[in-house]
Amino acid sequence: MTPIRVESSCNHRLLSRAAATVAAVAAATGVLVAPSTASAPAAPPDQTCTRYAAPWGRDDGRGTMKRPFRTAQRLVDSLRRGQTGCLRAGRYERANGHYVVDLRRSGLRIRSHPGERARLVGIVMIRQGADAATLSRLDFEGTGTMNTIKVHSADVVIEDSRITNRGRGLSCLMLGDNDGWGAAVRTVVRRNRFHDCGSAGNGTRDHAIYAANLVDGRIVGNVFWNSAAFAIHLYPNAQRTRVAFNVIDGGLPSVRGGVVISGDESYASSGNVVERNVVAFAQTANIEGWWAGPVGGDNIVRKNCVWAGKEANIRGSSITASDNLVSDPHFRHRETHDYRLAASSRCLSLLGRDPATLFRQ
């Protein structure tokens, strides 16, 4: 087949005028106008991206940079172990019932295209057996119909993302369960920002991170604000999990607390380490241990900077607390959620670094 060549420069001028019109409409109305494939925003291809999706793509496309899929689910379904799916900037809606992404295969990586930001509106399910998945540099927005992200597999990494359900209800991240869906094993949750997770109308049930059945997890370098109940809920069956270098603002009147290590009538969380965090302004306790039945053991709370817990800074049984500092963290601008620590903060000398600076855009 002879390739078609465009000889005239008129086509280029027409495309430029069309792009200019789209930009003018967006600027005048404040409404994002999704470009057509012909006028898609230019971006260099990335050698690490196996397939692409874009809000202006088509699910009967090829998943290439020029012919991307439209939905995040179609992108995920096209990948095989070790491959990376890249999402171009924009909003992705649920495509399969409640789920914007329903992950069933192992070894997949999903992220925003370099230099851009994709927004996933819906529920993300990582099913048992979908091991070694990595979700990075994404914006997650839950609908309140389920917990926003649910992990029931091993070696999942969730990193460098913004995670919320805008107060619609339920938790932002559910790690495992004890009713047959499966445990979360060796999950890594790092350098994310969790905010406005859960509804205050649900009492103490909605959390930013709900570690219901988590084994050997790592929750490191995250920032939390406006959680409806607890920021990090290690309950009822969190085992050998490290919680470190997180910043937790528990300042809402409805917020229960920062970090809780706990159990119910059947399970007890044990062997967990909570260290080098900044936890402040909780309405109950910033860090606590609490047991409804069996009592957990070997839970360590050390070298945290805590401040202004309304009922207590650190309290509870079956936790070993040492070398914790009660001091105002001196957030640079708490009202705008700039939780970097001022140079004068005594927390810096205890922590050795400013945890709020770990997040990567």
Instruction: Please give the model's pTM, rounded to 2 decimal places.
Output: 0.87
With a pLDDT cut of 70, the percent of the chain lying above it is: 86
Domain residues for the domain of 160 are: 122-357
Residue 188 — very low, low, confident or very high, per pLDDT cuts 50/70/90? very high
- Tell me, yes or no, whether 158 lies in a domain: yes
Pick from 302, 271, 276, 301: which is nearest to 288 by CA? 301
Q: pLDDT, tens digit, for every residue of 294-351? A: 999 999 999 999 999 999 999 998 999 999 999 999 999 999 999 999 999 999 999 9
Domain CATH number, residue 228:
2.160.20.10
- Tell me, yes or no, whether 9 lies in a domain: no
Q: pLDDT, tens digit, for every residue of 214-266? A: 999 999 999 999 999 999 999 999 999 999 999 999 866 655 789 999 999 99
Residue 105 — very low, low, confident or very high, per pLDDT cuts 50/70/90? very high
Residue 33 — very low, low, confident or very high, per pLDDT cuts 50/70/90? very low
Residue 100 — very low, low, confident or very high, per pLDDT cuts 50/70/90? very high
Q: Three-state SS across 202-237?
A: HCCCCCCEEEEEEECCEEECCEEEEECCEEEEEEEE
Question: What pLDDT is stored for residue 40 in this prediction?
Answer: 56
User: Given a cut of 80, is residue 28 above it in pLDDT?
Assistant: no
Residue 268 burial class via C-beta count within 10 angstroms: exposed 0-12, middle 13-18, buried 19 and up: buried
- Tell me, yes or no, whether 266 lies in a domain: yes
Question: What pLDDT is stored for residue 66 in this prediction?
Answer: 95
Number of domains the chain contains = 1
Residue 41 — very low, low, confident or very high, per pLDDT cuts 50/70/90? low
Question: What pLDDT is stored for residue 257 in this prediction?
Answer: 81
Residue 16: C-alpha distances to residues 35, 84, 199, 207 (Å): 12, 32, 47, 48
- Tell me, yes or no, whether 54 lies in a domain: no
Q: How far, in Å, CA of 339 to CA of 305, rounded?
A: 14
Average pLDDT, rounded, for the chain = 89
pLDDT (mean) for 50-54: 98
Residue 165 — very low, low, confident or very high, per pLDDT cuts 50/70/90? very high
- Tell me, yes or no, whether 33 lies in a domain: no
Question: What pLDDT is stored for residue 153 in this prediction?
Answer: 98
- Tell me, yes or no, whether 29 lies in a domain: no
- Tell me, yes or no, whether 61 lies in a domain: no
The answer to whether the beta carbons of residues 186 and 211 sit under 8 Å apart is no
Question: What pLDDT is stored for residue 359 in this prediction?
Answer: 86
User: Given a cut of 80, is residue 7 above it in pLDDT?
Assistant: no
Question: What pLDDT is stored for residue 95 in this prediction?
Answer: 75
pLDDT (mean) for 71-88: 97
- Tell me, yes or no, whether 43 lies in a domain: no
The answer to whether the beta carbons of residues 196 and 224 sit under 8 Å apart is no
